[in-house]
Amino acid sequence: MAEISFDDFQKVDVRVGTVLRAEPFPEARKPAIKMWIDFGDDIGERKSSAQVTAHYNPEDLVGKQVMAVVNFPPRQIGKFMSEVLVLGLPDEGGEIVLVGPDGPVPAGGRMH
């Protein structure tokens, strides 16, 4: 495992956001869900695509708080522009489970 400095870690801007809208993304190579996420007044709404269909339906994601890296450059996925990288961890079968806070926190809060 490569070590990084604390300054390197500080460059990664991980924020909490609330999913405002979610819909299937059938055009993706692997099953995915498109999400529109509110990161508060400073960052606003950003889009993301995540391969989380094993554990989530689009309607279940609305209102859910998720963690995401907000300072990566946007990435084109098919006809969809993903603006943030939503974070998750693989379960025992390799399917992604989203990372979020244990309780409600204000949108846009930065991970420390």
CATH code assigned at 61: 2.40.50.140
How big is the CA angle at 9 (ends 4 and 15), to the nearest 5 degrees? 155
Phi then psi for 80, rounded to 5 degrees?
A: -110, 135
| Amino acid (1-letter code) at residue 54 | A
Residue 1 placed within a domain: no
Domain that holds residue 84: 14-98
Beta-strand runs (E) in 25-92: 33-38, 45-50, 65-69, 75-77, 80-82, 85-86, 88-90
Residue 110 placed within a domain: no
Residue 6 placed within a domain: no
- What is the pLDDT confidence band of residue 27, given thresholds at 50, 70 and 90? confident
Residue found by looking up tokens 């989203």 in the block? 98
- What is the pLDDT confidence band of residue 45, given thresholds at 50, 70 and 90? very high
Average pLDDT for the chain: 96
Tokens of 26: 């059938």
Q: Total domain count for the chain?
A: 1
Tell whether the model's pLDDT for residue 36 goes beyond 90: yes
pTM for the full predicted model: 0.94
Residue 21 placed within a domain: yes
Residue 105 placed within a domain: no
What's residue 62's pLDDT?
98
Tell whether the model's pLDDT for residue 53 goes beyond 90: yes
Residue found by looking up tokens 């890296």 in the block? 69
Residue 107 placed within a domain: no
Tell which phi-psi region holds residue 63, choosing left (phi > 0), alpha (psi between -120 and 50) or beta: left
What's residue 80's pLDDT?
94
What's residue 1's pLDDT?
86
Residue 103 placed within a domain: no
For 40, the 3-state DSSP assignment is helix
For 97, the 3-state DSSP assignment is strand
pLDDT in tens, 57-100: 999 999 999 999 999 999 999 889 999 999 999 999 999 999 99
